[in-house]
Amino acid sequence: MSLGCRHRLTPQPYFAFALNNQSTALAAVNLADFRVVASLPVPPDPQRVVVRPGHRQLYVVSPTGKISVIGFPNPRVVASIQVGASAASLAFSPDGRWAYALDVAAHELVFLDCDTAQVAGRQRLRNAISDLAVSPDGKTLVLASADGKNLTFVDPATRVPLGAVQLEGSPGPMVILPDSSQVFVADAQTAGISAVEVATRRLLSRIELGVHATRLLLKPDGGEIFVLDSQATNLAVVDTYHANVEQTLPSGREPATGVFRQDSSILYLANAGDGTITAMDVQTRQTLASTRVGVEPCALALTPDERFLAVADRATSSLAILRADPASLSQARSLLITTVGVGSKPIDVVIPNWLEK
């Protein structure tokens, strides 16, 4: 493939930002020519990189208690926020004005003013907190407590707890429906998932699964949850409207994560156990394509135009770029365009769309 042809194939002007856990750096990859144009230092043992909604900023979270704020499209460190003794589970208000994080060591919910890049308040909770989610309408924070086996609901405007609901087991991953009506939370110890009404903090149902949920993938329309088990070779599909398991499907070995197209037509899965990326037709549940990309793919990001998929492989310290458009999936050839070395042990990747603002 000539360089000129490759320029026509690739998206512009998107950058992929790969977070490297061992080299403690955020690599910026220009997807127009597949070059690493910057490698920015971040706090030790970084775990997540999150795009601030409506702003040209990325937040990198470290369990050391620090959050680095990165500006783009000219990649640079613009601020550093000390959350506390620890930092985890960063989430933003829908407009990006506020951010919320957990200081797990102090049992505290931390409120961040994103415009000033400072801590604006803290709320100490009775039990240790293991996870955090924000309702899509921005009106409710949902906090999971592993030792208390409950969910606590907090009003972000007043920073006051609204109530709690007791669960049968320790809460694992959770998702909130697009209309903010229900939160679905997996049991970290058994093959089950619970549905809780957000407004009333009432347990609605418990669904028995055929897998132990390590990741919940919510369709953009909110109608179904695809439940991954990172130690298995199958996944379960939960109907959120009727609170039941529709079916159990084969997947690749040890599925780690996935991402949907915005129209919910295709689900891309990263299978850490066999080094493949599979594309599934969501309606028919058929595999459209499967491509080997490395050894241990663990994170995915679609370009905003949804033509290309970036895959972080922590075992090979690389970022793979794949064709993702439906036309390419129907062709009998590899979807892989190229791979780029980005640093040691990349564990997360995002591709922001700065053209929106």
pLDDT at 328: 87
In a domain, 184, yes or no: no
Report which residue type is found at 156.
P
- Backbone dihedral region for residue 95 (phi beyond 0: left; psi -120 to 50: alpha; all else: beta): alpha
pLDDT at residue 4 in the model: 37
326 in any annotated domain = yes
Counted domains in the chain: 1
pLDDT reported for residue 355: 66
What's residue 2's pLDDT?
34
Domain assignment of residue 192, yes or no:
no
Whole-angstrom distance, CA of residue 8 vs CA of residue 251: 33
In a domain, 122, yes or no: no
Residue 127: what pLDDT? 82
Per the rule left: phi > 0, alpha: psi between -120 and 50, beta: everything else, 333 is beta
Residue 103 included in any domain: no
Give the range of the structural domain holding residue 13, as residue numbers without chain letter: 1-38+268-357
Place of tokens 């922590």: 314
> Which residues in the chain come in under a pLDDT of 70?
1-12, 332, 355-357
Check residue 356 and give its pLDDT.
62
* pLDDT (0 to 100) of residue 12: 59
How confident is the model at residue 180, as a pLDDT? 98
> Is the separation of the CB atoms in 30 and 60 below 8 Å?
no
Query: What tokens were used for 10?
Result: 């690739």
Tokens found for residue 32? 């127009």
Residue 18, judged by CB atoms within 10 A of its CB (0-12, 13-18, 19+), counts as buried
Residue 348 token pair: 């997360």
Residue 148, in any domain of the structure: no
Residue 147 covered by a domain: no
pLDDT at 146: 81
| pTM, two decimal places | 0.94
Diameter of the chain by CA atoms? 61
Question: For residue 288, is it within any domain?
Answer: yes
